Amino acid sequence: MASTVTSEPSKDSSAAPRPGYGSLLRTRGAWTFLLPGFAARQPFAMLTLSIVLLVQHTTGSYGAAGAAAAVTGVSMALFAPYSGRLADRHGQRAVLVPGVILHAVAALTLTALALADAPLWALFAAAVPTGASVPQVGPMVRARWGVKLKGSPLMSTAAAFESVTDELTFVVGPLLATALCTAVNPAAGLVTEASLTLVGGLLFAAQKSTQPSVADGGHARVQHASALSVPGVRVLIVTFLGIGSVFGGMQVSLAAYSESIGEPGLNGILYGTFAAGNMLSGLVCGAIAWKAAPQHRLVVAYAALALTASGLWAAHSVLVLAGLGLLVGMCIAPALITGYTLVDGLVPAGARTEAFTWLTGAVALGQAAAVTVAGQLEDRLRTGAGFLVPLGGTLLALAVLLALRSRLVGSPRERTVARGVGHRVPVTVD
């Protein structure tokens, strides 16, 4: 019979000790996809910043650099959900192998054009396939956890672990990209990004035993043709757009600030501090047995994010900027983790990879819009004006979240799916 996922844990299950990261990482076969998955998702945190630093070096304009990076981000945001849907229908390997090869070729082409002082339209033309082919490894790893942890309470721990892993890439990635572009060569960041994507993606695709079954995805598609048809997913997309505005606005604005004080290498440290706060708070979130409903936690976390982001534009010293960046980062992880956790209760397993890619794409789209606007503000106004972008983006998204938060509560039909796959709360089996 079907397994019914209850909206509230039972008394017996709540009394049981909550499994932690140790139990999660001892899951059989987990490391076979975690290690190559980490290598393959690392470039995601390097791509935008590597493009910004390369194009700014060759053109001397943050506006042009932000526009080129924005084209990449928009392209990724538009194509990512279709990549996720294809992975649900045909298997992750079938999508990953041609995708990472195309991405490596496109990124290297973009690098060559930038170094050759090609016109901006040519950079845009190369940026489209570069963004469209970004492998959606993070959503694919999350989908693999769903296969491994069918109906297990470890799913909430897995959601936190994956968000922490994402944030770790945003600690390492910007530092690596900045170091390569400033100390080695302006093109070194993008070349390394393409190489890591190719090698890591192929190694991840080779782990066939842990990928979700195509047959399971086909069964669930009868229930939900698209994850976008779920109202709660649409609310989460807007929420994640605001988070993307923080990432994009800070990338451009921190780079401009570091350049203005004559310390371009400081950019990686400042952005790394922001990402470190994100990662540390993510670790804490994953270790807490939350009693509050996830939709309420999302509202609180997002309000805190909007509040802390509102002070960035007024910061005029390295220490103040680093401190505020740390606080902003600490507010992002709870929002991301809770958003991804809500997907488990809103979307059937066969459409979950697509749902995750919609959210990842929303972050990329918000980031793309943010780097464009922030780049123009930095070029036309004073240094630090780009920090107005995270402020505006988070406030607008918070208003939408407050107005539509009731849609984040799944209906009984959405909380009951075959075999209870991938849910974070306890499962009762008749």
Listed by start position, the domains of the chain span: 36-210+230-409
Taking the model in full, what pTM does it have? 0.69
Would you state the structure tokens that stand for residue 90, as one six-digit string? 């045909």
| pLDDT for position 9 | 42
pLDDT > 70? residue 38: yes
CA atoms of 178 and 251, how far apart (whole Å): 11
Lowest average pLDDT, out of 25-29, 178-182, 313-317, 319-323, goes to: 313-317
Q: Dmax over Cα atoms in the chain, in whole Å?
A: 67
Side chain identity at residue 355, one-letter code: A
What contacts 150, CB < 8 A, 6 or more positions away?
A: 419, 420, 421, 422
pLDDT > 60? residue 216: no
Element (H, E) at 3: strand 3-5
pLDDT > 50? residue 426: no
**Residues, the chain, total?**
430
For the chain, the 3-state helix, strand and coil shares in percent, each to the nearest 5, are: 80, 0, 20
Question: How does residue 411 score in pLDDT terms, banded at 50, 70 and 90?
Answer: low
CA atoms of 147 and 364, how far apart (whole Å): 26
| pLDDT for position 366 | 87
| pLDDT for position 163 | 72
| pLDDT for position 223 | 45
pLDDT in tens, 270-288: 877 887 787 788 778 767 7
* Count of beta carbons in the 10 Å neighbourhood of residue 404: 15
**Percent of the chain's residues with pLDDT above 70:** 85
Question: How does residue 225 score in pLDDT terms, banded at 50, 70 and 90?
Answer: low
- First-to-last alpha carbon distance for the chain, in angstroms, is 7
* Apex 85 CA angle, 81 and 87, nearest 5: 115
Side chain identity at residue 58, one-letter code: T
* 248 or 345, which is more confident: 248
Cα-trace Rg, the chain: 21
DSSP string, 237-282: HHHHHHHHHHHHHHHHHHHHHHHHTT-TTHHHHHHHHHHHHHHHHH
Name the superfamily (CATH) of residues 36-210+230-409: MFS general substrate transporter like domains (1.20.1250.20)
CA atoms of 189 and 426, how far apart (whole Å): 44
| pLDDT for position 190 | 93
Quick check: 346 and 414 in contact, CB under 8 A?
yes
pLDDT in tens, 231-272: 888 899 999 999 989 988 888 888 888 887 777 777 778 877
| pLDDT for position 19 | 56
Residue of 377, 394, 247, 262 whose CA lies nearest to 325:
247
Rounded to 10 degrees, the C-alpha dihedral 62/63/66/71 comes to: -150
CA atoms of 390 and 367, how far apart (whole Å): 10
